[in-house]
Amino acid sequence: MKLLIFVLIIASSTVHAQSKKEKLEISTSAVCGMCEDTIEEHFMFEKGVRYADLKLKENVLYIEYNPKKTNPATLRKALTSIGYDADKLPADEGAYKNLALCCKKGSKCEH
């Protein structure tokens, strides 16, 4: 009986430790629906990310992530690597050049 209780305690603490999550908000240069699709799709496959939602009207990417698998610096770098600014980090120049015209800063295009 004591062994069963011990196993249950260990199992519940493991589940609790795995459920730890943190939230991050990143200001970005995204301008249209195509940007939104690109960014959210990219972050679906980013290690440790559980949720990513870009709010275009706010120009903010909301991310929920596992801090044991990633960190804010890595997530900001991931955003810059696909051509978008991330807070004060500028977009990777090569990735920015490859963005669709409507996804570039100052674009008035609405996708």
Q: What is the pLDDT of residue 105?
A: 84
pLDDT of residue 72: 98
pLDDT at res. 9: 62
CA dihedral sign, ordered 30, 89, 47, 60:
negative
Structure tokens at 22: 């943190």
Q: How far is CA 62 from CA 24, 78, 93, 98, 100, in A?
A: 6, 14, 23, 24, 23
pLDDT one-digit tens code per residue, 13-51: 555 555 689 999 999 999 999 999 999 999 999 999 999
Given this model, what pLDDT does residue 16 score?
Answer: 52
> What pTM, to 2 d.p., does this model score?
0.80
pLDDT value at position 7? 52
Question: Over the stretch 47-90, which tens digit does the pLDDT of each residue have?
Answer: 999 999 999 999 999 999 999 999 999 999 999 999 999 999 99
